[in-house]
A and B are shown apart, each in its own frame.
Chain A
Amino acid sequence: MTSKTFNVILRVWRQAGPGREGRFVEYPARGVNPDMSFLEMLDVVNDEIAARGEEPIAFSHDCREGICGTCSLVINGKPHGPNHGVASCQTYMRSFKDGDRIVVEPFRARPFPVIKDLVTDRSAFDAIQQAGGFITARTGSAPEANSVPVPKEVAELAMDAAQCIGCGACVAACKNASAMLFVAAKVSHLGLLPQGQPERDRRVLAMVATMDGLGFGGCTNQYECSAACPKLISHDFIARMNRDYAKALFHSAFRPAAAGGAGA
Chain B
Amino acid sequence: MSQLESRIPPGALAEKWSRHKSGIRLVNPANKRKYEVIVVGAGLAGASASASLSELGYAVSCFVFHDSPRRAHSIAAQGGINAAKNYQNDGDSVYRLFYDTAKGGDFRSREANVYRLAEVSAQIIDQCVAQGVPFAREYGGLLANRSFGGAQVSRTFYARGQTGQQLLLGAYSALSRAAVSGGVRLHTHAEMLDLVVVGGHAKGIVVRNLLTGEVTRHAADAVVLATGGYGNVFNLSTYARGSNATAIWRAYKRGACFANPCFTQIHPTCIPVTGDYQSKLTLMSESLRNDGRIWVPRNRDDRLKPPASIPEVERDYYLERIYPSFGNLCPRDVASRAAKRVCDEGRGVGESGLGVYLDFSDAIGRLGEAGVRERYGNLFDIYHEITNEDAYKVPMRIFPAAHYAMGGLWVDYNLMSNVPGLFVLGEANFSDHGANRLGASALMQGLADGYFILPYTIGDYLATLKPGSRPPADGPEFMQAADGVATVTKRLLSVRGRQPVSHFHKRLGHILWQHCGMARNREGLGKALQEIPALREEFWANGLVPGTGDSLNQSLERAVRVADFLELGELMCRDALAREESCGCHFREEHQYPDGECKRDDENFAHVAAWEYAGEGTAPVRNAEPLAYETVKMSVRNYK
- Assembled-state Cα–Cα distance A119/B181 (Å): 30
B75 at the interface (CB under 8 A from A): yes
- Assembled-state Cα–Cα distance A61/B67 (Å): 11
**Known contacts A130-B176, A159-B160: A90-B385 contact under CB 8 Å:** yes
**Known contacts A68-B76, A122-B67: A43-B131 contact under CB 8 Å:** no
A134 at the interface (CB under 8 A from B): yes
B interface residue numbers (CB < 8 A to A): 48, 51-52, 55, 66-71, 73, 75-76, 85, 87, 123, 125-132, 134-143, 159-160, 162, 165-166, 169, 172-174, 176-177, 179-182, 186, 188, 211, 240-242, 274-275, 277-280, 282, 350-351, 385-389, 451-452, 455, 498, 500, 502-503, 544, 546-547, 551-552, 554-555
Q: Which residues in B have their C-beta under 8 angstroms from that of A133? A: 173, 176
* Contact status B126-A144, CB under 8 Å: yes
Q: Whose C-beta in chain A lies nearest to the C-beta of B382?
A: A65
A220 at the interface (CB under 8 A from B): no
A152 at the interface (CB under 8 A from B): yes
User: Which residues from 89 to 132 on chain A have a C-beta closer than 8 Å to any C-beta of chain B?
Assistant: 90, 92, 94, 115-116, 119, 121-123, 125-126, 129-131
A3 at the interface (CB under 8 A from B): yes
* Contact status A139-B127, CB under 8 Å: yes
Contact residue among B136, B277, B279, B451 (Cβ-Cβ distance under 8 Å from A33): B277
A47 at the interface (CB under 8 A from B): yes
Q: Whose C-beta in chain B lies nearest to the C-beta of A65?
A: B282
Q: Which residues in B have their C-beta under 8 angstroms from that of A262? A: 177, 180-181
* Contact status B75-A67, CB under 8 Å: yes
A54 at the interface (CB under 8 A from B): yes
A82 at the interface (CB under 8 A from B): no
A193 at the interface (CB under 8 A from B): yes
- Assembled-state Cα–Cα distance A149/B182 (Å): 33
- Nearest CB on B from A106, distance (A): 13
A246 at the interface (CB under 8 A from B): no
**CB<8 Å pairs between A and B, sample of 6:** A1-B389, A65-B280, A134-B176, A146-B142, A149-B141, A165-B75
Given contacts A69-B75, A134-B174, A142-B129, 19 further A-B contacts (CB under 8 A): A1-B388, A3-B351, A35-B275, A40-B278, A41-B277, A50-B546, A63-B76, A63-B240, A65-B76, A68-B71, A69-B70, A126-B68, A134-B176, A137-B131, A145-B128, A155-B134, A159-B159, A163-B160, A195-B132
Among B137, B172, B179, max chain A CB count under 10 A is at B137
* Contact status A92-B385, CB under 8 Å: yes
- Nearest CB on B from A68, distance (A): 5
Q: Which residues in B have their C-beta under 8 angstroms from that of A139? A: 48, 51-52, 55, 127, 174, 451-452, 455
* Contact status B126-A58, CB under 8 Å: no
* Contact status B274-A123, CB under 8 Å: no
- Nearest CB on B from A172, distance (A): 16
Q: Which residues in B have their C-beta under 8 angstroms from that of A196? A: 132
Q: Which residues in A have their C-beta under 8 angstroms from that of B123? A: 140, 142
A2 at the interface (CB under 8 A from B): yes
* Contact status A70-B67, CB under 8 Å: yes
User: Which residues from 49 to 97 on chain A have a C-beta closer than 8 Å to any C-beta of chain B?
Assistant: 49-51, 53-56, 58, 60-65, 67-70, 86, 90, 92, 94
* Contact status B140-A116, CB under 8 Å: no
- Assembled-state Cα–Cα distance A221/B138 (Å): 35
Q: Which residues in B have their C-beta under 8 angstroms from that of A90? A: 385
Q: Which residues in A have their C-beta under 8 angstroms from that of B85? A: 145
Q: Whose C-beta in chain B lies nearest to the C-beta of A83?
A: B385
* Contact status B130-A64, CB under 8 Å: no
Q: Which residues in A have their C-beta under 8 angstroms from that of B498? A: 51
- Nearest CB on B from A143, distance (A): 7
**Known contacts A123-B67, A138-B55: A155-B546 contact under CB 8 Å:** no
* Contact status B386-A17, CB under 8 Å: no
Q: Which residues in A have their C-beta under 8 angstroms from that of B141? A: 149-152, 155
* Contact status A55-B547, CB under 8 Å: yes
* Contact status A43-B132, CB under 8 Å: no
**Known contacts A135-B132, A151-B141, A195-B129: A58-B500 contact under CB 8 Å:** no
User: Which residues from 141 to 198 on chain A have a C-beta closer than 8 Å to any C-beta of chain B?
Assistant: 141-146, 148-152, 155, 158-159, 162-163, 165-166, 189-190, 193, 195-196
Contact residue among B71, B274, B503 (Cβ-Cβ distance under 8 Å from A1): B274
Total chain A interface residues with beta-carbon distance under 8 A: 83
Q: Which residues in B have their C-beta under 8 angstroms from that of A115? A: 211, 552
Q: Whose C-beta in chain B lies nearest to the C-beta of A63?
A: B240
* Contact status B75-A135, CB under 8 Å: no
Contact residue among B126, B130, B173, B500 (Cβ-Cβ distance under 8 Å from A129): B173
- Assembled-state Cα–Cα distance A159/B506 (Å): 38
A257 at the interface (CB under 8 A from B): no
* Contact status B131-A35, CB under 8 Å: no
Q: Which residues in A have their C-beta under 8 angstroms from that of B274? A: 1, 33, 35-36
Q: Which residues in A have their C-beta under 8 angstroms from that of B125? A: 145
* Contact status B388-A123, CB under 8 Å: no
A44 at the interface (CB under 8 A from B): yes
**Known contacts A129-B173, A155-B134: A116-B552 contact under CB 8 Å:** yes
- Assembled-state Cα–Cα distance A142/B120 (Å): 13
- Assembled-state Cα–Cα distance A64/B159 (Å): 21
- Assembled-state Cα–Cα distance A1/B87 (Å): 45
- Nearest CB on A from B493, distance (A): 12
Contact residue among A36, A60, A141 (Cβ-Cβ distance under 8 Å from B67): A60
- Nearest CB on A from B568, distance (A): 20
Contact residue among A1, A142, A165, A193 (Cβ-Cβ distance under 8 Å from B350): A1
Q: Which residues in B have their C-beta under 8 angstroms from that of A116? A: 551-552
- Assembled-state Cα–Cα distance A33/B134 (Å): 40
Contact residue among B177, B275, B500 (Cβ-Cβ distance under 8 Å from A51): B500
- Nearest CB on A from B283, distance (A): 8
Contact residue among A35, A54, A61, A135 (Cβ-Cβ distance under 8 Å from B546): A54
A37 at the interface (CB under 8 A from B): yes
Q: Which residues in B have their C-beta under 8 angstroms from that of A86? A: 385
- Assembled-state Cα–Cα distance A33/B276 (Å): 11
* Contact status B134-A159, CB under 8 Å: yes
- Assembled-state Cα–Cα distance A144/B83 (Å): 13
Q: Which residues in A have their C-beta under 8 angstroms from that of B241? A: 61-64
* Contact status A92-B388, CB under 8 Å: yes
- Assembled-state Cα–Cα distance A129/B85 (Å): 31
Q: Which residues in A have their C-beta under 8 angstroms from that of B128? A: 145
* Contact status A50-B500, CB under 8 Å: yes
Q: Which residues in B have their C-beta under 8 angstroms from that of A222? A: none
Q: Whose C-beta in chain B lies nearest to the C-beta of A120?
A: B67
* Contact status A62-B242, CB under 8 Å: yes
- Nearest CB on A from B560, distance (A): 16
Contact residue among A16, A37, A123, A195 (Cβ-Cβ distance under 8 Å from B68): A123
* Contact status B277-A36, CB under 8 Å: yes
- Assembled-state Cα–Cα distance A214/B90 (Å): 52
- Assembled-state Cα–Cα distance A92/B388 (Å): 9
Q: Whose C-beta in chain A lies nearest to the C-beta of B72?
A: A68
A136 at the interface (CB under 8 A from B): yes
- Assembled-state Cα–Cα distance A163/B87 (Å): 26
- Nearest CB on A from B257, distance (A): 29
Q: Which residues in B have their C-beta under 8 angstroms from that of A2? A: 388
Q: Which residues in B have their C-beta under 8 angstroms from that of A195? A: 129-132
- Assembled-state Cα–Cα distance A65/B70 (Å): 15
